[in-house]
Structure 1
């Protein structure tokens, strides 16, 4: 029995699931003759080819995108510097709990099914179906938004060129990157993430210099903007307006943070998951505290929330609060530098969209939620049909090149942003059910690689907060008159999510998984 236990621990690296109580030596059959006979039917798994530094850097900076470097300006304009700071702290605590909970599940029972695997295993197969497709549609449509943004960024210098040219070039480039071994993707993302960190450090230091009076204008700002307009009124007057200002910052910060959970997909191709996943999960504390919370704090110091340029919409440098601060300080070189840096931020995001979309389709297909063709891998271990199918959605970006279609494209992009928050909810519901299963099945504490402090109470509290954010995400559709377009684009994602859950449950009559019958352990044998 001890030998069997050792073998079980050795093979806890994939998602071929078995009940711990039903394990037998036949489950670990490694006979070479049998392997040769079943070679054609042997299941191929995603490789675990990420290097340690790839996982660490992706965990720290992989998900940092335009939400921080551009979107934070919208939050500053609506709520003021104090509201911005508070909003990012509140959402940062929520995200920290989500990622730690995900890391615990992934370290204990790693799988390569993206985000459909855990809900299907611990909650209900119907939730696994909805969670997986919810996550795929988010990145499939966001891919088109990122490709369009890349074209807009280049138009900052060349307004005479049509955005479609750059959409085509970048789409082909990211398909090429995702066709090779995942180490190639990991290497590229490692250097992109490193570049992001350098750019943000330059921005933070420059904002600090501006605040202290070291800019060409020699104006010392200090905490002037905090004294004058720490909490702004938004939509209505008075204390209600100031509350809505804070709430607007919380909602905007969610969209800046969304995507951070993508590290959970990377976990599926991580070597020695029991060692590296806990380490990578803990590194997000640094990312949240320094790059997000400290970053918006510096923005609140260097940029007045009353600056009219904050209302500029777009994806290029003109919409960035950092650029607005540099322009106000009469620093002439950095705006072009930031615009060039945005190519890295957005290009990395578009590259990741195809990676995440293909892995999500792979996981859905393995569970029978999508056609089996998406499980096919090329010789580099890449689900190439998933890559191609995800890339096809990038063609939606061409809608933005036509003025008559751009409005519809905008509605498309807005409607899927809530999918990211729903995925946080899926993770937390899965974690709560997983936690109950470990208690019900008497899993020893030493078998769990790491566990976040305060569990399961932290998970319950955060789940309630995510539900509140999801439900009141479209608050501005009801203030100063009902705005049906805002209402539809905000809540259509939730409606689609619920329809997917109940449709699958009704059609296939799935049963709720209980704590006592949830399958906690998974193995990969050489035969399956």
Structure 2
């Protein structure tokens, strides 16, 4: 083995192996591969040594390889011949016949007849993952992560999106629709939770699609997830503009000025780095959680008569003006029963938008997220249906919406019962709510684009970071999409909000569908390889039937969610409702045909690589928690939340 080809450095139980010369896969010769294979095989025979690969991205390895960042290096565990027969060596077998003949001198490596059929390796440049201009900084504190996770369980769809759903579905339709989609959402999360508990990794949903289904699905899902955040950020900025229009003074300032202020606001906090972002989001999320809890209690008090009019509302709004169900598009369809059904189906689409993003709570706590869905979403829409008339003109999406119409049904309710000043306080809290959502969405979007670039699935330029560890080129790119918010200047905030809801819910539905497909493939692989679900660290209820139910339901909603674009025909609504589907298909098929990937048979899915490292990490964590001693009373309360 030539020292100019491969370097092996063993220190304190860690063996570092790296190529010295080549900067791209094409520059690596068959002899280089052979030298690397021999070095890795020799080192990997030692159980007391952990192997790290220097100057490589995750895309070097097959989907079954556990690759994680450890001190800037990429670590592989329990690889052995499986690793040698996978992605890193596949190019040597397929680049040209001459290299293939040379490489066949190494039988164990030349037998790469399995993984290379399902995993490809694009001609990626090698890079040092610790390069100063291509690394993120970790600066979030435990309290910040906890509060952001708690606040992130609920988005603007509940606070503002219900202003659209309530007139369409009525109070009962709103309640039933959110409860139904809440169950679908929980099934998606349970499936994701099983995979995440069994094999946690940093590549998120796309990583499971790549490992269990097809790398092409992982690629399409990664970009689909990015598109969602490129759209949801301007959507939240638009929602902030809607919140502002409740105040007459704010309406005197041009919309363009407010939009510019909001964009600069979120840009500055993202550019200052993760520490500043984390602290701001901690306080914003605190306001969000306090606001949500306060709104629920306030709504119950108002309904029971605790208002200036001493009017006990009860279920009055479920009876007038036309019963508990909405009558959507009644003038067009001329049938009351069909109008009620269309109103309920419209609520399902709106509820899907509201729940999008909840999957980010995985794998923190499935049970906790279930109760958050039940209390915040289902409980929230139930209270809204009690205290807010579905036909009131104060709703900003009402047919005859008044100037200064409220963005949230909660504000409408406080205005109608004559609670002075409180509506302004709540409106200010909701403004913080939506700006927090826009800020965090921009953060996630820029990091998603950065991650795609690091994995070689997007141009490498997006992996550039500044001295604060901010992927500034990715951030600026995402900020450019925020300019879409200026559509509300000519089209109106309510109409633009509808466009964004259509797009975000479509991208979100495709994410849920992909997660369900990945989980179903995971379940099939377990069965094909003789593994029992009882051995899983987390065994979700109703599975795998729950994933099938969520897959079928979400697919139906995705394909029929734009029905109102046909009654009457509206090109803009049709495009925004369905454009995500062909985009996803193009990315999936384009990647599949270009790289020749194949669906991974159940018996070939890798269910073992990386498990030992995960078990070791879990044991270390449990030992650390045990050393801390029992939690205090308030600590247990916080954990429960």
Normalised by the size of structure 2, how large is the TM-score? 0.69
Query: Given that residues 80 and 305 in structure 1 are in contact (C-alpha distance below 8 angstroms), is that contact kept between their aligned partners in structure 2?
Result: yes
Query: C-alpha displacement at 1:405, in angstroms?
Result: 12
Alignment of 1:248-259 (within 5 A): 248-259=346-357
Note the aligned Cα RMSD (angstroms).
Answer: 3.6
CA distance in 2, matches of 1:20, 1:412: 45
* 2:224 alignment counterpart: 134
Bigger proportion of residues as helix: 1
CA distance in 2, matches of 1:66, 1:41: 36
Query: Given that residues 361 and 369 in structure 2 are in contact (C-alpha distance below 8 angstroms), is that contact kept between their aligned partners in structure 1?
Result: no
Query: C-alpha displacement at 1:12, in angstroms?
Result: 6.4
CA distance in 2, matches of 1:318, 1:333: 14
Alignment of 1:2-401 (within 5 A): 4=47, 14=68, 20=78, 22=80, 50-155=140-245, 156=247, 157-180=249-272, 182-228=274-320, 229-235=323-329, 236=333, 237-263=335-361, 277-279=363-365, 281-310=366-395, 311-312=397-398, 318-401=406-489
Query: C-alpha displacement at 1:189, in angstroms?
Result: 2.5
* 2:605 alignment counterpart: 518
Aligned residues: 499
CA distance in 1, matches of 2:195, 2:139: 20
Query: C-alpha displacement at 1:391, in angstroms?
Result: 1.8
**Among candidates 499, 521, 525, match of residue 437 of structure 1:** 525
Superposed CA deviations along residues 220-242 of structure 1, whole A, max 9, x for unmatched, are 11122234411233224232222
Query: Given that residues 509 and 555 in structure 2 are in contact (C-alpha distance below 8 angstroms), is that contact kept between their aligned partners in structure 1?
Result: no
Query: C-alpha displacement at 1:193, in angstroms?
Result: 2.0
**Among candidates 480, 495, 501, match of residue 588 of structure 2:** 501
Pick closer, same or farther for the CA change 1:248–1:414 going to 2, 3 Å.
Answer: closer
CA distance in 2, matches of 1:57, 1:13: 29
Superposed CA deviations along residues 310-340 of structure 1, whole A, max 9, x for unmatched, are 3446998713211111111011212211221
Q: SS at 2:604's partner residue? A: coil
CA distance in 2, matches of 1:453, 1:47: 37
Task: Return 292-301 or 17-26, whichever deviates more.
Answer: 17-26
CA distance in 1, matches of 2:494, 2:528: 53
Query: Given that residues 225 and 304 in structure 1 are in contact (C-alpha distance below 8 angstroms), is that contact kept between their aligned partners in structure 2?
Result: yes
**Among candidates 522, 525, 544, match of residue 456 of structure 1:** 544
Pick closer, same or farther for the CA change 1:434–1:17 going to 2, 3 Å.
Answer: farther
* 1:273 alignment counterpart: none
Superposed CA deviations along residues 143-168 of structure 1, whole A, max 9, x for unmatched, are 22323433443453322222333333
Pick closer, same or farther for the CA change 1:89–1:516 going to 2, 3 Å.
Answer: same
* 1:269 alignment counterpart: none
- Where does structure 1 lack aligned partners over 5 or more consecutive residues? 27-37, 265-276
Pick closer, same or farther for the CA change 1:464–1:49 going to 2, 3 Å.
Answer: farther
- Where does structure 2 lack aligned partners over 5 or more consecutive residues? 1-43, 52-64, 85-125, 615-641
Pick closer, same or farther for the CA change 1:379–1:425 going to 2, 3 Å.
Answer: same
Task: Return 179-188 or 458-467, whichever deviates more.
Answer: 179-188
Query: C-alpha displacement at 1:476, in angstroms?
Result: 1.5
CA distance in 2, matches of 1:443, 1:375: 39
Query: C-alpha displacement at 1:471, in angstroms?
Result: 1.0
Pick closer, same or farther for the CA change 1:370–1:339 going to 2, 3 Å.
Answer: same
Superposed CA deviations along residues 114-163 of structure 1, whole A, max 9, x for unmatched, are 44322222222222222111121221122223234334434533222223
* 2:27 alignment counterpart: none
Pick closer, same or farther for the CA change 1:40–1:232 going to 2, 3 Å.
Answer: closer
Query: Given that residues 533 and 539 in structure 2 are in contact (C-alpha distance below 8 angstroms), is that contact kept between their aligned partners in structure 1?
Result: no
Query: Given that residues 146 and 350 in structure 1 are in contact (C-alpha distance below 8 angstroms), is that contact kept between their aligned partners in structure 2?
Result: yes
Query: C-alpha displacement at 1:196, in angstroms?
Result: 1.2
Query: Given that residues 132 and 364 in structure 1 are in contact (C-alpha distance below 8 angstroms), is that contact kept between their aligned partners in structure 2?
Result: yes
Query: C-alpha displacement at 1:396, in angstroms?
Result: 2.8
Normalised by the size of structure 1, how large is the TM-score? 0.83
